[in-house]
Amino acid sequence: MSALALYLKQFGHTVLGSDRSFDMGRNDDMRQHLTQAGILIVPQNGLSISSRIDTFVVSSAVEDSIPDVTKAQELGLTIKTRANILAEVFNTHFGMAVAGTSGKTTTTAMIGHILYETGHSVAMLNGGVSCNSYNHKPCSNFIYTGEDACLIEADESDGSIAEYLPDISVLTNVSLDHKSLDEIRRLFRDFLDKTKHGTVMNLDDPESLALNVQRPNNITFSIQGNPEATLSASNIQESLQGCTFVLNGSQNIRLPVIGKYNIANALAAVGVCIHLRIAIAESFKVLESFKGVKRRMNYIGTGHGAYVFDDYAHNPAKIKAAIDALLPLAKRLFIVYQPHSFEALRLTKKDLIQTLGNVLSERTEWLMLPVFYAGGTVIKDISSQDVVGPLQTKGKRAFTFHKRDEILLYLRKRVCPGDVAIVMGARDETLTSLAQDIVKVLQREDEL
């Protein structure tokens, strides 16, 4: 929503908006970014909604019962979803859309970074905030260098991916997340079938291959050294500072991001740039200056000889990928996780328990906070203990905590030099503050 607001403001529209997280005093960096761009932020109480508004744009993340939506309905305003407006923008341009259950935000940011640094004309509207600064402006999920092309993260969680008609499409991977696998498969297959120019697909992902999409102009990638892939990574070496690998058996590549999955994201991004006739070597050279995306395996700091990271991982596949990336580099791994909604936890509970049962080891501790509640009307019929209990039965070191202070105290007593702590979860921007607080608590140990 924020990237869309910035785009519309760029073209001279008067834009105002509300967000209950702002009303709660959260996400102040984004609020300031929008305000500095000339966007008016108002309380979400319905009082700023008037007949002067031409179009009322609503996110699928809010309910019809909130005061702003209720007032817009009473006034008979033209109401469109975020996806409606984004599709209107995207479908009138040469469009590049990145889809997939995991990795699409970072892949989109990587493509945007390459296009910006190579001087291409593009508008990028992303779901996550890039850590790089563009056009001498603060870190943002919006890049604008011209109107020749539009680059977006295509979200499947609300079905809005069905509205986009891409010229170039990317499918990073397919796994269970917001919808059933059958629904997700159908959405992604239709998305790829509608692509007009070329596709980029993951040759390592069985679910993606099972879609059996036959495209004449398809670029593939693999991090398992598959020689049939257009872009194939082998001899992967990882550290807490980044990773290196050999591309197509000959070219040495370095990336300043952590995790094999980020190598896959980079290969997907470079695949798009091949479609745009940007040299492979040039794309990877530019990615050496890519700083990542906020809350995507961000290094927060070090305390008491331990590293602390912040990550958006919120479904079983993403959680496993983050654990797999960090565990080989850590003496012990402490995972602080906050489920982002009751509905999502209800959908993924079985898969999450099974995944954690396989991936958690004697060197891991699973520390689970209560389910995040952002307001509105939801059914609260599941809790974090419904995950922790079965894990404890399996002999895993898994615990529930009611308050963040309890986790801080626990980590201060438990974490030793060489350990790694990671905070995981979606939607709640204050999780970054929790990761920062963990660093502060651990640094106090150094002062003793």
At which of 287, 312, 330 does a domain end?
287
> d(Cα 382, Cα 372) in Å, to the nearest integer?
12
Give the strand pairing for 78-81 and 94-99.
unpaired
- Which residues share a beta bridge with 194? none
Please report the pLDDT score of residue 260 as a whole number. Answer: 92
Judge if 366 and 407 occupy the same domain: yes
DSSP of 411-433: HHHH--TT-EEEEE-SS-TTHHH
Residues 149 and 242 in one domain: yes
Same-domain pairing of 356 and 437: yes
293 within some domain: no
Q: Which of 26, 46, 81 is the last residue of a domain?
A: 81
pLDDT score recorded for residue 427: 84
Question: Assign residue 430 a region: left if phi > 0, alpha if psi is -120 to 50, beta otherwise?
Answer: alpha
56 and 151 part of one domain: no
At residue 138, the pLDDT reads 76
Where do we find the tokens 């654990």? 323
pLDDT at 112: 97
In a domain, 346, yes or no: yes
Q: By the 8 A CB rule, do 270 and 283 touch?
A: yes
Closest CA to 262 of 298, 300, 217, 211: 298
CA gap 308, 219 in Å, rounded: 36
The whole-angstrom distance between residue 232's C-alpha and the CA centroid of its chain comes to 24
- Provide the residue range defining the domain that includes 11: 2-81
| Cβ(387)–Cβ(422) below 8 Å | no
Q: Give pLDDT tens digits along the chain (448 positions).
A: 999 999 999 999 999 999 988 998 888 888 999 999 999 999 999 999 999 999 999 998 788 889 999 999 999 999 999 989 999 999 999 999 999 988 999 999 999 999 999 999 999 999 999 999 998 777 889 999 999 999 999 987 666 788 999 999 999 998 766 566 778 888 889 999 999 999 999 999 988 888 877 777 899 999 999 999 999 999 999 998 899 999 999 999 999 999 899 999 999 999 999 999 999 999 999 999 999 999 889 899 999 999 999 999 988 988 998 999 999 999 999 999 999 988 889 988 999 999 999 999 999 999 999 999 877 667 888 999 999 999 999 999 999 999 999 999 999 999 999 999 999 999 888 899 999 999 999 998 766 5
Q: How far apart are CA 37 and CA 138, in angstroms?
A: 11
Helices (H), ranges, 331-379: 342-359
251-255 vs 242-247, strand pairing mode: antiparallel
The number of distinct structural domains making up the chain is 3
- Residues 6+ positions from 328 with CB-CB distance below 8 Å: 238
| Whether 265 and 208 share a structural domain | yes
Tell me the CATH number at 75: 3.40.50.720
DSSP H stretches of helix in 37-180: 67-75, 82-90, 104-117
* Predicted local confidence at residue 158, as pLDDT: 67
Q: Report the chain's C-alpha Rg in angstroms.
A: 22
For residue 292, tell me if it sits in a domain: no
DSSP string, 35-79: HHTTPEE--SSSTT--TT-SEEEE-TTS-TTSHHHHHHHHHT-EE
Q: Which residues contact 384 (CB under 8 A, 6 or more apart)?
A: 339, 345, 368, 369, 370, 371, 400
pLDDT at 373: 85
The CB density around residue 315, as the number of other CB atoms within 10 Å, is: 22
CA 117 remoteness from chain centre = 22
Task: Indicate whether 309 and 250 sit together in one domain.
Answer: no
- The CATH number given to whatever domain includes residue 186 is 3.40.1190.10
Say if residue 114 is in the same domain as residue 140: yes
Do 211 and 239 belong to one domain?
A: yes
Residue ranges of alpha helices (H) inside 288-382 are 316-326, 342-359
Q: What is the CATH number of the domain that holds 311?
A: 3.90.190.20
Domain end, chosen from 57, 81, 105, is at 81
Residues 235, 331 share a domain: no
In a domain, 361, yes or no: yes
- Domain co-membership, 32 together with 129: no
* Whether residue 67 is found in the same domain as residue 119: no
Q: Residues 109, 235: one domain?
A: yes
